[in-house]
Homo-oligomer: A and B are copies of this chain.
Amino acid sequence: MASPAICDRNNRNDGENGSRSMGLCGKVMNKVVEFPIKLKKLGQDDPRRIVHSLKVGLAVLLVSLLYYVQPFYNGLGDTTMWAVITVVVVFEFSVGATLGRGLNRIMATFLAGALGFGVHHLANISGEIGHPILIGIFVFLLAASVTFIRFFPRMKARFDYGLLIFILTFCLISVSGYREEEILEMAHKRVSTILIGAFTAVFVCIFICPVWAGDDLHNSVANNIEKLGSFLEGFGDEYFKVAGNGESNRAHLQGYTSVLNSKQSEETQANFARWEPRHGKFRYRHPWRHYLKIGHLTRQCAYRIETLNGYLNSEIQTPLNIQSNKVQELCMKMSSESGKALKELAWALKTLTVPCAAASSHITKSRAAANNLTSMFRTSSAAAAGVGGDQVRLLDMVPAVTVASLLSDVVAYAEQIEKSIQELASFPHVQFKSAEPKTLQSCNTSSSNVGPHRVITMDRLASLQVQEPHKGIGTKLQRVSSAI
């Protein structure tokens, strides 16, 4: 009994080794051939990468000129290297990241330099034996405590680099065996060169094709909403096989998967964006943290869509023989209208326009479809669910009912995404186009009172199944208990 498994494992090892030794040359050749193709693709995917690389080259070149301009070099000497080091380590892809690192580096160097100088002075007056002991104690305590502070999530998010440089500079200044006058001169030179380096990096970063982390965050949140919209627009046709050959479309629908894991990149971008000055459409104190809330809602919606996507691969081709035409029509309406609504919302967010008429109308329609479905489910008994009185197997109802239920969740999330974008528009530092109070008010009214499409029922199904996804984003979904 045991031998086949052993053989299998041995064969596998042999096979692996064989292919490894035989194919090594081929693999290396493949990699060499593929390299330029990959390089090209990397640049095509985001041409800003090429610009960024050239900008780094330029900044390093500029700062290395310090070595060749005699007056500078005579003044700064060997410490010129700190300018080069600063440019290389501070220059990041976005303005926010570069500014954050630059400010962290300058402030940390300044503070730690002053503290280090104080400790050095204290150690000097404590005699020859006391000197190393005192310095040792200080270095140990400071390195340990600042390292511990780096574990605070808030500190890590914004000041991690500064804290690192703080430890580094403090150790360099306090430990160094120089005399105090030398230290003062060294500190002066070092701060100057770091300032020169940081300013060079920030200058090149801001004034040559700047990449704003805020813009990236703004666009990425809007694009994520759009991706969900695209899925929902295509889902109905794909699921109910209305379109002819669905295979090609199905791959097209998978764009939403990147939304599932977008949390960390959004948080990083939001932290960078907070360092950025006013630029383009955004004022200085733009509420970047609110984007994280919109992003959270988008991901919650994406989890439901991920579950929905599982039903696309179902082999039950025509599951809806329960009132098929009507249920299919309503599901397709929920899907396509909420998809359109999300696309409208994405567009509104991207262009900073108050989402009003179009988005609200699509949301109203999708909510109306959900309510229609709910009331249909309420009024029909399961026994009467067959088409033309046919008996229906429960099994055939399962996917249809589940899809309807998930779509109902999605509609509720679309409503909440709309609310959170309206909320963004109402922040004092945000300028949404045509954001006059009147428009906003009428917009709010139209999204809570649903107009002629609204059905005379509680939208119990949707309201009951969707948990309150985020505290403080907005009030609970308003329940409409009477119709207009």
Contacts and interface: CB of A to CB of B under 8 A. Distances in A.
Interface of A: 1-6, 9, 12-13, 16, 38-39, 42-43, 49-50, 52-54, 56-58, 60-61, 64-65, 67-68, 73, 81, 84-85, 88-89, 132, 135-136, 139-145, 147-148, 151-152, 164, 167-168, 171-172, 175-177, 260-261, 263-264, 299-300, 303-304, 306-307, 309-316, 322, 374, 376-383, 385-386, 391-395, 397-399, 401-402, 404-406, 409, 426, 428, 436-438, 440-441, 460-461, 464-468
A2 B438 contact: yes
27 contacts: A2-B438, A3-B437, A5-B441, A9-B437, A16-B428, A49-B148, A53-B147, A58-B140, A60-B139, A73-B177, A84-B168, A84-B175, A85-B168, A303-B303, A310-B409, A310-B465, A312-B467, A313-B468, A314-B464, A316-B464, A377-B395, A377-B398, A381-B392, A383-B392, A398-B405, A399-B464, A402-B405
B394 A381 contact: yes
A42 B152 contact: yes
Contacts of A379: 393
A380 B397 contact: no
B441 A2 contact: yes
A312 B438 CA distance: 39
B147 A56 contact: yes
Given A89-B164, A405-B402, A52 B381 contact: no
Contact of A260 (B50, B303, B383, B461): B303
Given A322-B394, A376-B394, 11 more contacts: A9-B428, A53-B144, A57-B140, A68-B132, A85-B172, A260-B260, A310-B409, A310-B467, A312-B467, A377-B394, A398-B401
Number of copies: 2
Nearest to A466: B310
Contacts of A299: 260
Contacts of A50: 148
Contacts of A61: 136, 139-140, 143
